[in-house]
Chains A and B, each alone.
Chain A
Amino acid sequence: MGLTDILQKPGQALGDMVQVTNLDAVVNWGQSYSLWPYPFATACCGIEFMGTACSDNDIARFGAERPSFSPRQADMILVLGTITYKMAPVLRDIYDQLSEPKYIISVGACASSGGMFDTYGVVQGIDRFLPVDIYIPGCPPRPEAIMDALIKLQEKVKTQGLEERRAEIKRKIEEINERNRPLIIR
């Protein structure tokens, strides 16, 4: 019996003792169940995240076990709340400190679009300067919505390979640069 035969019938040829897969899939599988969040809480969505992390909803069931308060030990950043123009450089600094691979979830209306604060002080959506992976609607969103976003991100981590991820980030950054290009009138 050759290796080709075993690969064609995973889990059958050698019983339950051996599973055959490729390395990427194993790494992605492990990563998707240990997405440690960095909560960047600036407003009421932060309180909602606390509710999600507490025992009633318990985000630990999905592997986002430990809210990491150092960006170097986190896999994804949850932007919870209004980002002002004064806060934006801080958010970018923290995003730069996250170790690769890193993901961004934009929680709530304020982080996603500025929300009801269409004013002189509030950035109209963090996707003006960061490549966001998942947006959660709501003001603030229910804990179920935050967990749904986490499950969607897990699906993404499981199916997306490293090369594909790099290409996606590159595409998003190009989109941001294109959108923010200043108009030059001659």
Chain B
Amino acid sequence: MPFIMILYYVITVYLAFLLVWNFVHEKKKIEDLAQYLLVLIPLVLRILRIK
């Protein structure tokens, strides 16, 4: 795997972490909770090298 690709996976993991962090700390808006998880799906699929 080329270095640039590894770097992009690191970025993806970081973005996924931010979404999970926001999901855990969100206390008010249910819409935001749903959106965090929705955005998280493609990132998790990429990290798991499925899509």
Partners in one complex: no
Binding site for A on B (CB under 8 A): none
